[in-house]
Chain A
Amino acid sequence: MSLIDWFANRRKTEPAIQKQGEREIADGLWSKCQVCGAVAYTKDLKANQLVCLECGHHSRVDSDERINQLIDAQTWQPLGEEIRPTDPLEFNDRKAYRDRIKDYQAKTGLTDAVKTGIGLIDGLPLALGVMDFRFMGGSMGSVVGERLCLLIERATEERFPVVIICASGGARMQEGMLSLMQMAKISGALHRHQSSKLLYIPVLTHPTTGGVTASFAMLGDLILAEPKATIGFAGRRVIEQTLREKLPEGFQTSEYLLQHGFVDQIVPRTQLKKTLAQLISLHQPFYPLNSHIVETDSAIRQEHSVSVIEEQNIQSN
């Protein structure tokens, strides 16, 4: 390489590097991928369900957006919103828990870390719970436990499948043992749902850890995960500290769990609704010899679909 070529090359590369580092997106019009740095028109990104068009990175989705992505328009019937957090232990670390709740409520517009309700997915009824990581890291306290139990109990009563989109750092320490016991409480409700031979599918999204992993996230008849989500029981740092060694590559990811047999399928977000609807449809009661039962069953289902839509209309009116 001659000296002139070397200078020429240097001129070519330097500004490009600087440019990439400096690139900042002023408002919400454009979004930059955290992983590959690709810039996309926010509207396009939303249309692709916040999955990067270049590298396929799945950005965080809030609970409302997730419900829009999964539930047929005009069929969502929220449940459990009347259940609100309190501060049973009068917990005060560097800030009072009571104030923390208020701040998160103001910041996120949510009342706690999960939204639950009934809706249709490709025309099939579904009891859906969606955790929201923005509210105190999706941590599980009394409200998360109560709302999920009410949802699962309703599903058991009406013979609906349950899907829970998990995203949580684990139990909410500010509620002490009350939050640990939510693990048992939700597992109890799932026991009744499962004893009634009904379908439950948790969807593990980034991140699903701690007490949520050690309870309802791992209790699915089938378990789905989004690509490259962190899923595990103990935190990475805890394991690193106890072992004092580097962790294997890809440890505690969706792919790692699939490889070790704890997840059934890794489903890209853009395929999630289709896959869930397909699975739910595959698990509908099927009685080839008793066709009258099929008729009754679908009649009930249709009736319910109508009533959900009607109620929704009444609410929106």
Chain B
Amino acid sequence: MPKTERKNFLLDFEKPLCELESRIEQIRQLAAENQVDVSGEIAQLEARASTLRKEIFGSLTPAQRLQLARHPRRPSTLDYIQAITDEWLEIHGDRSGNDDPALVGGVGRLNGRPVVLMGHQKGRDTKDNVARNFGMAAPGGYRKALRLMEHANKFGMPILTFIDTPGAWAGVEAEKLGQGEAIAYNLRQMFGLEVPIITTVIGEGGSGGALGIGVADRLLMFEHSVYTVASPEACAAILWKDAKKSPQAASALKITSRDLKQLGLIDAILPEPPSAAHSEPLEAAATLKQALWENIENLSEMSIQQRQQLRYEKFRKMGVFEQVS
């Protein structure tokens, strides 16, 4: 991404790094214009930038990670699908009167193998975001997703889902069309699918709206993505009675990839480029592609029954409680 454009979306904690980077750029230009050799200084400054980058991105608070997960330039479902597939075709509609632009999907080819891909789609700018409802899917979106999954099941294609939503759409129309029922039905039916299912949280994993396409054999998360039971803002408003306490809520809820790995709720963390996925989207896509492919190959070695049994056990053991005699 061009540097000027990146500045428009700069997060507070990215600023010192960005300043240093632009200073290096300036020195480079000056040196080129005046034909002076500054390679020593530049190497020194770049080493400093690299340490700074590691410091900043290595010690992000959960609230800062949430900002990164919601970064307007973070690669979206369609970005990743286009980057990782050899070819792909979008499929539309739930066959019940709706086509939800907030949840997209289609058939494609990954390393030559046909797969079905789908995920929440946020907009790239305000206009696009309004059209895509900020990635908040309606019941029709979840029904389209299930239709695609059943399609994959029929033709033996692995299912790859990508989570990136603030939550399922909360509106009068969504309630009228059965938002709860649509999500619930997906949760149950996904346990019965015969093909491998791999879910990746690429940005924001918001509650039931995320889980509605997230019952998988493998659950992967990008390093700076988050997955949460309720948005920290909502949680702060309800439990702290103060929406400004959302940074506290973000820490308390344990929403980062590292926390969720520790709790045993996800299978793997996908490392992001040094300045997060939005700085080097293609590098992030390459990481994703490799992880998906390894998991597809691994899951394909199992029998259908084995996969279904393991999928059941995977979710069955989630939960922490005491057992008294």
Bound-state CA distance A178–B255 (Å) is 11
Q: Flag the segment in B49-57, B121-129, B172-180, B287-295 that touches A.
A: B172-180
- Which residues of B sit under 8 angstroms from A175, Cβ to Cβ? 229, 320
Q: Which of A93, A149, A217, A238 contacts B184 (CB 8 A)?
A: A217
**CB–CB A142/B319 < 8 A:** yes
**CB–CB B260/A177 < 8 A:** yes
**CB–CB B211/A183 < 8 A:** yes
Bound-state CA distance A91–B248 (Å) is 11
Nearest chain-A residue to B252 (Cβ)?
A91
Asked if B265 is at the interface (CB within 8 A of a chain A CB), the reply is: yes
**CB–CB B175/A232 < 8 A:** yes
**CB–CB A93/B208 < 8 A:** no
Asked if B192 is at the interface (CB within 8 A of a chain A CB), the reply is: yes
Shortest Cβ distance from B225 into chain A, in angstroms? 13
Nearest chain-B residue to A209 (Cβ)?
B180
- Which residues of A sit under 8 angstroms from B176, Cβ to Cβ? 260
**CB–CB A143/B321 < 8 A:** yes
Q: Flag the segment in B33-41, B64-72, B271-279, B310-318 that touches A.
A: B310-318
Q: Which of A89, A192, A242 contacts B254 (CB 8 A)?
A: A89
Q: Which of B171, B181, B265, B316 contacts A242 (CB 8 A)?
A: B171
**CB–CB B188/A219 < 8 A:** yes
Bound-state CA distance A179–B254 (Å) is 12
Asked if A234 is at the interface (CB within 8 A of a chain B CB), the reply is: yes
**CB–CB A92/B252 < 8 A:** yes
Q: Which B residues, 219 to 278, have Cβ-Cβ distances below 8 Å to chain A?
A: 227-230, 234-235, 238-241, 248-249, 252-255, 260, 263, 265
**CB–CB A262/B172 < 8 A:** no
Tell whether A218 pairs with B321 under 8 Å between CB atoms, given A91-B252, A178-B265, A188-B312: no
**CB–CB A94/B319 < 8 A:** no
**CB–CB B318/A178 < 8 A:** yes
Asked if B185 is at the interface (CB within 8 A of a chain A CB), the reply is: yes
Nearest chain-B residue to A149 (Cβ)?
B316
**CB–CB B184/A85 < 8 A:** no
Asked if B168 is at the interface (CB within 8 A of a chain A CB), the reply is: yes
Shortest Cβ distance from A58 into chain B, in angstroms? 21
Asked if A187 is at the interface (CB within 8 A of a chain B CB), the reply is: yes
- Which residues of B sit under 8 angstroms from A174, Cβ to Cβ? 239
Q: Which A residues, 49 to 67, have Cβ-Cβ distances below 8 Å to chain B?
A: none
Interface bits A237-280 vs B (CB < 8 Å: 1, else 0): 01100110001100110000000111000000000000000000
**CB–CB B319/A195 < 8 A:** no
- Which residues of A sit under 8 angstroms from B179, Cβ to Cβ? 214, 233-234
- Which residues of A sit under 8 angstroms from B248, Cβ to Cβ? 93
Asked if A138 is at the interface (CB within 8 A of a chain B CB), the reply is: no
Asked if B207 is at the interface (CB within 8 A of a chain A CB), the reply is: yes
Bound-state CA distance A175–B239 (Å) is 13
**CB–CB B320/A188 < 8 A:** no
Asked if B183 is at the interface (CB within 8 A of a chain A CB), the reply is: yes
**CB–CB A248/B319 < 8 A:** no
**CB–CB B187/A233 < 8 A:** no
**CB–CB A173/B253 < 8 A:** yes
Nearest chain-A residue to B266 (Cβ)?
A177
**CB–CB B180/A214 < 8 A:** yes
**CB–CB B185/A191 < 8 A:** no
**CB–CB A179/B229 < 8 A:** yes
Tell whether A218 pairs with B211 under 8 Å between CB atoms, given A84-B323, A176-B253, A234-B175: no
Nearest chain-A residue to B207 (Cβ)?
A180
Bound-state CA distance A188–B260 (Å) is 21
- Which residues of B sit under 8 angstroms from A187, Cβ to Cβ? 184, 187-188, 191, 215
**CB–CB A182/B319 < 8 A:** yes
**CB–CB B175/A180 < 8 A:** no
**CB–CB B312/A219 < 8 A:** no
- Which residues of B sit under 8 angstroms from A92, Cβ to Cβ? 252
Interface bits A86-109 vs B (CB < 8 Å: 1, else 0): 101101111000000000000000
Bound-state CA distance A149–B319 (Å) is 11
- Which residues of B sit under 8 angstroms from A192, Cβ to Cβ? 191, 312
Interface bits B189-227 vs A (CB < 8 Å: 1, else 0): 101100000000000000110011011000000000001
Asked if A184 is at the interface (CB within 8 A of a chain B CB), the reply is: yes
- Which residues of A sit under 8 angstroms from B187, Cβ to Cβ? 183-184, 187-188, 214-215
Bound-state CA distance A252–B172 (Å) is 9
Nearest chain-A residue to B322 (Cβ)?
A84
**CB–CB A82/B325 < 8 A:** yes
Shortest Cβ distance from A162 into chain B, in angstroms? 13
Q: Which of B180, B189, B230, B324 contacts A233 (CB 8 A)?
A: B180
**CB–CB B318/A233 < 8 A:** no
Residue contacts A-B, CB under 8 angstroms, 10 given:
A94-B240, A143-B319, A173-B238, A184-B318, A187-B184, A188-B312, A211-B229, A214-B183, A219-B188, A234-B175
Q: Which residues of B are interface residues toward A (Cβ below 8 A)?
A: 168, 170-172, 174-181, 183-185, 187-189, 191-192, 207-208, 211-212, 214-215, 227-230, 234-235, 238-241, 248-249, 252-255, 260, 263, 265, 311-312, 315-316, 318-325
